[in-house]
Structure 1
């Protein structure tokens, strides 16, 4: 009788062992490690892990799990785990470190808490670790620095504390390190940054770091994004060695306790004032606070008046006060004087010739709005822009006074000294309609000399703002660069405003990207020539004067190409001229309406004043279209059948998001770039560098985007290092 209980007990243990043996035999070791993560999740509101079933023989079919065949194993091994943004709560178990072939662990944007397990360093194949936007706490495990292949580490948006481990220098393959928005503190370790020669992005912002900025951060020669040290407690002077950073790098040092004079060397000399804001003890350019010279003698006083400075001090103060005023007076006098003198001379000249003018000589005498855009039938510009007489008027005819009065107030002002023509020649020349937009109609006009020009009619109205229009046109005409379309003349009257520019013969970049019949796809060298030239022209617009010009309408249709595919930026200053002229353009001429190339901050109400960072974002989208071959016109289901990995339709902003996501997921470069470039294997390094630059230009945060001069310098160095 006493043996019966022992028998049943032995039978129970035997059954349990058998169940465990069957479970182990059904699921691979990688699957058991993943089940440990599922059991560590306390809440799964979206049922993201519901299909992770211990009864499955292959975890590779589970959502969020990717596998690959390994020659030395009879079963596929887990290489990626991606469960982002599912609202998971719980902790990260140490068992995930047993996934020895794991390359990418992506658990960002959840609510996971607890420490980061140091055992993750045992997953020696790990290349990308994305744990940002969780509730993780504790220190950054020093053992993570022992991962030999780690390239991307993003732990931002958590509650991590402690210091940066000094063993970080062991991550020799690291390209992206983001530790922002945590509670890290202490001094940033020095002597480790020269070992991270491949680091392209470093973000330590919004922590509690203190002490000096390590000078050897200037040794990050591969940096192409933002070196973000903002909103910490860094103190001391800015190391001049930061000027050794590559031209593509952008700094952000806001919100610290830095002091002293800002070094004007290398990259530091090209930064905007916003980079150094909220550092009250900083001085020097580009800030407006001058540095005090400790060696200067104290001011002397008049014996007769203890409250007055010496004559020398008064002279210096007076010069400082008058310097901005002189600049303003000179600028206004230059613009207004040239416009007024030119307008008076042209008015006097043409008033004498009005009686000799005839009517419109072309057969199609139609008013503006009746012609079809793109028509091949030529007509004189007068027929397009002015009402033709109903019949040959006599001197006493009823229409003669009205026509003369309309043309008497017209003024053609040449702003290009190397090019001259008469108003009558312009109005009688053959004109072809090139296209229409909300900003008027564009014509190709062939002058008597055979030289073609482009004429844009802005619209009707705005009779009281001639001086403002003239001053703005003169300012735009002074912007001269080989990659910017040159304004040659303008015509102003109460009813008509015309802009005369040089004609660029080979169409727009938008048309070239769509492809033309009989023409092969553009090679990489041509695309780089277009990118470099456009960047140079845009940088010149930004830097050519103290006014800080902004284009505001950068897109492929505004980049014109000549016969050798050199780019020319068109429509510079057009929005400003329309605003100053006060014309009625029929389309509202609202900045940003229907323009998918503007950044997010330009598409939110209320829309602020355009900035140069807008142009940088738009240029980044143009770069992405050059790289991918994707344009809004090509984003159709038919096009998607040949590029199955790409979305069936993308506007420019969607293209930027898709490229950024593809890089995070480490997709092959061949899936991103234009198939026409697949044959150019020798250019893949250049293509990758330009992709990185385009993503830096299209950062959502305007302060994270580089300056256009920095972008231009980077493109000049691509392929020449």
Structure 2
């Protein structure tokens, strides 16, 4: 008996010892092992380290954990196993991960239906299951989640209609269902409840019926894509109530009738409405047929008989009188219309001048959506929040010392810049560039921070135009974005005018492409990243800056790079400031006229501003020394720079990044009808039109990356769309930015 007890105690001691050395796997770990068990094929062994012998799932690849109140161990908050070609199904046990916030299984081959139990994970706010083989109906249980913000089920095999319970997804910001087999009519009277929706993509499905008018109540919407469906009927006028910067895509449907020329609908280019045979009106330039008003039918022997009985003399008298009356009415109508146009012009002009004098605008920068950059366009792949570089200007923030500003005083435009004038003038400096736009110095101030100081022109001129100059520079200071050079301060005196901006230390895109200044010629991934950043910055300038500015002089030397090759657009609208200090002081001076030819000399760009201006003088340096990055329509004797001309310039820059060739190159003499088209644009377009090998135009450095061919071809198509001869055929910059973000998104 004594020996038996000793044996039993030994066994119990051994069990306790083993349990102490091997703690039990947490419930979260068991749920993850259920996902591993549901995978039937793992070609890259990506889940091989998910091991039941490892009690801590937080160390497993693709798993993110965080401490939770009331629990002695961390809880799983993120599962990201994407692009691994995993086959199998999604198990319902994932729903037991009560602290799970983000589930990312895109780019695999999961099949079957989405289990309703998955949405028991009540903390889930981002679900990315796109690019799989999932089938079944739209998961209505998803709208039971109180925090769901991002739902992407694109490119699967979902079928059936959208359920009306979709109105329960009140916190939803991005809904992407493109490329499925969904059908039926889109539910109406539900969209006004989804007040935070920023992106709605229902393209490439089988939806039918009319477009719900309440889609126009989505006042936070930045992207609405309903293309490649079977929608019919007319376009609701209410869609014009969408934000003015919305990107709308209604292509490849059966819509008919006249496109409403109202609100945001009037801001769309023709590509938003292509391939709807029944649509007409602006901007498709398809005239709408107006039905002829039928003559009033009268009974025989009635009024018609009376007129038939009238003599020829009576008919002639009536006809002549009507002609005189109609002519007089026409003259009066034209005069009245002209008066209204003139009044409207001066009313708008007066507001612009008032805004300029007060440094106006800027309030729109606080709006979320495209202008606030909280979504994927700003850097994070699936847009769960603002990018780390996001900055929103607060007009009440004011500026540093001297924000009121008088002549002879250094005026700062944000509280973070603490340099006084004496310190700036005493600091060590060396010349970075010199040209018609002034001398640019790198100045190291007392705290060791380097800034770029531009001395405008020769320092003199401008007379008494200080107030106009100060208003323009303050407007420049309000333009803030991670891909735009930031202006910090300015100084105005009779003999000196300075602009102080952030110093960007790694040269510019022009040098990086050609391997100058010690740079290694850029690989494709770096070029694509630079193109995306520059597109985001220019799109922000167009749609989200206080005045929806035009750059007017975009080229590689004005796209600066930091140590990590992040792009910064500089010099946007610098010529406008130069016009204020070179033109006579007169209230009647044209605020949009271009400066003298000396102002167009090229120098390394280091600062930014942006105001519309025109090349109104045929004697300007712009015409004497054509800039190959400028759009053809801006090279005429009388022309005006627009946002679409900026898009053209960006397209030429993108072509240069893809080919490594300067835009002036001309493989063959241009015909007289093509003399305004840079040689590079003509050459690339000809290669694509003739379907010749891509290697003929591609930079040899990019040929080394064999996996990037599809992405490079897609980028070429974006560049060619930007460089269309017809400005109306070019996309908006926001659309260009979105298209570049889509390139290579599956590799993220």
State the TM-score, normalized to the length of structure 1: 0.48
Structure number with bigger Rg: 1
